[in-house]
Chains A and B, each alone.
Chain A
Amino acid sequence: MAKDSLPHLSSYRHRLPVRIAHWINVVCLFIMLLSGLQIFNAHAALYWGSASDFDAPWLYIGAARTEDGPAGRTELLGRQFDTAGFLGTSGDADNPEMRAFPAWLTIPGPRWLAMGRQWHFFFAWILVINALLYLTWSAASGHLRELWPNRADWRGIGRSLWDHLLLRHPTGEAATRYNVLQKLAYLGVIFGLGTLIVLTGLCMSPRMDTVLEPLLQLFGGRQSARSLHFIAAMGFVLFVAIHLFEVIVTGPWNNLRSMITGRYDYRADVPGNSRENSHGEQ
C-alpha cells in the first residue's frame, strides 16, 4: 500500500489551557532569559558559597587588553577562552563595546540594570501565575496523569531513546500522545528546572533570605544560589533548543498548528506500518 493512500486523520492534540499556558511561557521565558542576561552583565562573574571570592569565580566574562584594543575573554572553571565579538566584547568590530553578553541578547539592549530588573520582576510574576494556573488545571483535569510515565513507558525508555537519536519518530496514532522522553522532559522542566529557578531566584532576595535560610543552606549560600539560577536558565535554553529541534524534525507546521488550534494531522495505522506495533519484528 502506497504511503500517500493511507487515510488522513486528525486529532485534537492540545487542549486550550495547555495552548494558552504554552504561549505565555514562550513570551515569559524569552523576556526572563534576556532581561536575566542584562542583570548578569552588571557583575559578569559567578561564585560558590555565601559571599563572592572575587579572585575565584568559576565563570567570568571580561575583556583582555591587547594591542588591538579590548578583546573578549571568558574564563570557565579556570580555563580561558577567546570570545571576542560575542562575550566580553561585541558590537562594532573596530570599536567594540565591553560587556559580557552582547546587546542583541539583552533586554533592554543598552547597559541598563534598573530597567532589566523591572522587566525581570514583572514577568517573573506572570510566569509564576501562569505556572500555578497550569498546574492547578493539570492536576484537576487529569492532564498531569497523562504526563506521568506509565509502566509501558518505563519499559520502552531505551527504545524511545534510540529512536530519538536516529530521528525516528512515531507517525501514526502514537504521535497524538506524549512519548516517554517527552513526558520526562516536560516533567523535568516543570518540577525540576522550574522549581530550581524560582527557588534560587527567591534566595537572591535579602529580605526573603531572612526566612529561607534552610533553603539557602541547601543551595550552598547566596552566591551559589545565583550560580544555580544561571545554570538553571542555561538548562531552559538547552531544553528549548532540543524542543525546537524536535518540533522541526517531526513536521513543524503540523506541530505549530496543533499548539495554536489544537488540531494535529496524522496517518492511520495499518498493520505492518505502525512503528508501535511492528517494532519488535523489524
Chain B
Amino acid sequence: MANNKRRHALKMMLALGGGALLSGCDRLSRSDRFVRLLNTAEPLNEKLQRALTGSALAREYTTADISPVFRPNGETDPQNSAYRQLAANQFADYRLEVGGRVQAPQRLTLADIRALPARTQITRHDCVEGWSAIGQWTGARLAALLDLVQPMGDANYVVFRCADLWGRSQEPYYESIDLEEARHPQTLLAYELNGAPLPIANGAPLRLRVERQLGYKMAKYIMAIELVNSFAHIGGGRGGYWEDRGYAWYAGI
C-alpha cells in the first residue's frame, strides 16, 4: 500500500518535473532574448559551411536516378486571376521584370530567357521537412542574367518576387539570395523539368534552382527579380516568406 503510494508520488513527480521542463522550453521558444541566443548559431553555420565548401558543386546524378514524380510542395496551383490569365495563354504574355540596383533594367519574355546561356543538371532537391527528390532541370544561368543587367556596386542581394499568394493576407511569396550564390554555376532560372516545360505544380513558367540550399529558397512562379542593397524593407524584413516566419535565411543546413 505504502509502496503503491510512493510509486504514485514518484510518477506524479516525474510527470510534473517533465511537464515543467517542457513548458519551460515552450516559454523560452517565445522569449525574444532566448530565440536571439539560439539564432547566434545561424551565422556560425553559414560562415563555417562557406569556408569548408567554397564554390564546390552540388552532386549531379544520372537519368536513372530521377524520381518518378518530382513532389511539388507549398503552392501547387496559384488561383489569383493575374496568374491564371498568364497560365491560360501558356505564358505567352509573361514578362520577367528585372530591376532595382542595376545599370540596365530588363523586361524579358520566356523566349528572351531561353536565349540566355543555359545549363541542364540532374540534382537532388532537399525539403526542409526532410524528404528528397531528384529531377533534371534546364534553365538560364542566373549569372548570365546578372551580366545582362549589370548590378550596381552596392547591390548585395537578388530578391525574387512570386505570383503565389500566401496566408490570410494573401502575401506574395518572395525569397532572396546573395550575389555569391546567384553567380554559382548551378544557380538557374529553370524553365524545364525532366525535359518538359516546367509544370504549374513545380513553379511554371520560371523557378529558382539553388542547389546548395533547401527547397524553400527555390522560389516558384517568379514574376520579378530585384537587386537590392538590403532586404530589411521587404516583407517582414528577413529576406523571405518563410524567413519572416522563423526559418533561417541561410538554408544550407
Interface residues of B (CB under 8 A from A): 18-19, 22-23, 25-26, 29, 35, 37-42, 44-45, 49-50, 52-53, 56-59, 61, 65, 67, 69, 71, 124, 126-134, 211-214, 242, 245-248, 252-253
Contact = CB atoms under 8 A, between A and B. Distances in A.
Contacts of A211: 52-53, 56
Given A114-B247, A206-B214, A210-B56, A40 B130 contact: yes
A47 B61 CA distance: 18
Given A206-B213, A209-B59, A122 B126 contact: no
Contacts of B128: 42, 113, 117
7 contacts: A40-B130, A51-B65, A54-B131, A104-B18, A109-B23, A114-B242, A206-B212
Q: Which size bracket describes the interface of A in this complex?
A: 35 or more
Interface of A: 31, 34, 39-40, 42-43, 45, 47, 50-52, 54, 104, 107-110, 112-115, 117-119, 121-122, 124-125, 204-211, 213, 216, 222-223, 226
A122 B252 contact: no
A125 B131 contact: no
A3 B217 CA distance: 69
The prevalent SS among residues of A at the interface is helix
Nearest to A223: B132
A245 to B, nearest CB: 15
A43 B213 contact: no
A252 B238 CA distance: 49
Nearest to A202: B253
Interface centre among A31, A34, A206, by most B CB within 10 Å?
A206
A121 B130 contact: no
A146 to B, nearest CB: 33
Q: Which residue, A45, A104, A208, has most C-beta atoms of chain B within 10 A?
A: A208
A234 B163 CA distance: 43
A52 B133 contact: yes
Contacts of B50: 207
A206 B248 CA distance: 14
